[in-house]
A and B are shown apart, each in its own frame.
Chain A
């Protein structure tokens, strides 16, 4: 069966510090991968998606970037965090229409 892992589960970072969140998927090959953010009290906003290694599409202009160095690995990064980057970050995978989400990372930028 397929599983998706995200780490860390929680993170508190100062403004201006770098960020690296990692997501890995097991049990499937060549999945589509996604990064979402849920701000407090709001819905899920798609940040990036990838259909293959090295292929990244950005949905919204922002302070973040994404990379896919391996087939089942997706990384979300920032060089300098802003207060507005705080939120709940979710990674998801799909091979058809349905997306399956990881447990999420709660990021607080102080």
Chain B
């Protein structure tokens, strides 16, 4: 049962344009959502998060939007830069105490010059 889904395995965007990465979830009990960026052979790096009580959170070039009714979140990167090329994972948090994360399969973002 894939509770967190990233339906686009890859995305190609021109440098300077907006990158939009999407994520859908099925468990309405999720209360916290995160985006991570991962380079090959490295651990994921935390990018940005959002609580279920909000619908938008912004940090520099990164903005995360949450649509609870649609069980959908998205990450916007603007403007896109070559260093943004990586695999992006969305994750959702469930449970008290240890915040167990459920990850999507990832989307490989390529920024073209």
Contact surface of A with B, Cβ cutoff 8 Å = 6, 32, 34, 42-46, 49-51, 57, 59, 88, 90, 92, 94, 96-104, 106
B residues near A43, Cβ cutoff 8 Å: 89, 103-106
Of residues 29 through 61 on chain B, the ones whose CB sits less than 8 Å from some CB of chain A are 32, 34, 36, 41-46, 49
Does residue B100 face the partner (Cβ distance < 8 Å to A)? yes
Interface residues on B, range: 20 to 34
Give CA–CA (A44, B37) in the complex, Å.
12
B residues near A51, Cβ cutoff 8 Å: 97-98
Contact: B42 with A104, CB < 8 Å? yes
Contact: A97 with B46, CB < 8 Å? no
> SS class of chain A's interface: helix, strand, loop or mixed?
strand
- A-B interface pairs (CB < 8 A), number: 61
Q: Which of B32, B93, B100, B106 contacts A49 (CB 8 A)?
A: B100
| 20 A-B residue pairs with CB within 8 Å | A32-B99, A34-B98, A43-B103, A43-B106, A44-B101, A44-B103, A45-B103, A46-B102, A49-B100, A51-B97, A57-B98, A88-B41, A94-B98, A98-B34, A98-B46, A99-B34, A99-B46, A99-B99, A101-B43, A103-B43
